């Protein structure tokens, strides 16, 4: 149980951090692509295609590298869990069969021990999967909070009158 907690404890903060970084990189990719499409007339007139391609592709490469870092954490986490679950199954099977051969365990106890170890392996994977999903979303949310929760830098003049809006509308001149 200690080793399962150790895997969870070591992987989840890294998943949160990498997910936050990945969210930031995705924002950069989206922003650069939207910027290119929004200003397409200006770019076609005054810019070179190569410059704009490098600008967007650099963001895509950074996003891919950050994604690889997150996937490395997942690979290490799942590999450690696989090794731990394999060790659990081997140990329980060996102990159950050794106990059965020594006459210390009944057939029913052996038949119960191995499926119980399999169930622990399955549940540990589900818990790790749910935990990873939660901590991944926490990383995305923390990135969003730092983006949204910024101090107001543009203030009204001290003698500015209050804005009174009585109705909405659009007028074309």
User: 80, 96, 60: which is closest to 12 by C-alpha?
Assistant: 80
For the chain, the residue count is: 173
* Segment 48-64, tens digit of pLDDT: 767 777 888 999 999 99
Tell me: pLDDT of 124 over 90.
yes
Question: What is the pLDDT averaged over residues 136-152?
Answer: 86
Q: Name the pLDDT band for 22 (thresholds 50, 70, 90).
A: very high
DSSP 3-state of 153: coil
Domain boundaries, the chain: 11-147
At residue 150, the pLDDT reads: 79
Please give the model's pTM, rounded to 2 decimal places.
0.74
Cα three-residue angle 160-161-166, rounded to 5 degrees: 140
* Segment 74-122, tens digit of pLDDT: 999 999 999 999 999 999 999 999 999 999 999 999 999 999 999 999 9
């Amino acid at each position: 149980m200690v080793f399962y907690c150790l895997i969870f404890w070591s992987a989840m903060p890294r998943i949160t951090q990498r997910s936050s970084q990945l969210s930031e990189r995705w924002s950069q990719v989206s922003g650069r692509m939207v910027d290119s499409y929004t200003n397409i007339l200006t770019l076609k007139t005054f810019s070179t295609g190569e410059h704009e391609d490098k600008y967007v592709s650099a963001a895509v490469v950074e996003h891919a590298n950050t994604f690889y870092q997150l996937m490395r954490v997942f690979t290490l986490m799942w590999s450690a869990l696989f090794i731990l679950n394999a060790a659990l199954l081997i140990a329980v099977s060996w102990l159950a069969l050794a106990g059965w051969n020594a006459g210390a365990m009944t057939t029913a106890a052996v038949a119960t021990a191995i499926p119980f170890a399999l169930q622990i392996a399955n549940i540990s994977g589900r818990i790790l999967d749910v935990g990873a999903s939660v901590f991944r979303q926490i990383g995305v949310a923390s990135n969003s909070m730092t983006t949204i929760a910024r101090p107001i830098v543009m203030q009204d003049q001290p003698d500015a009158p209050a804005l009174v809006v009585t109705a909405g509308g659009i007028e074309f001149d």
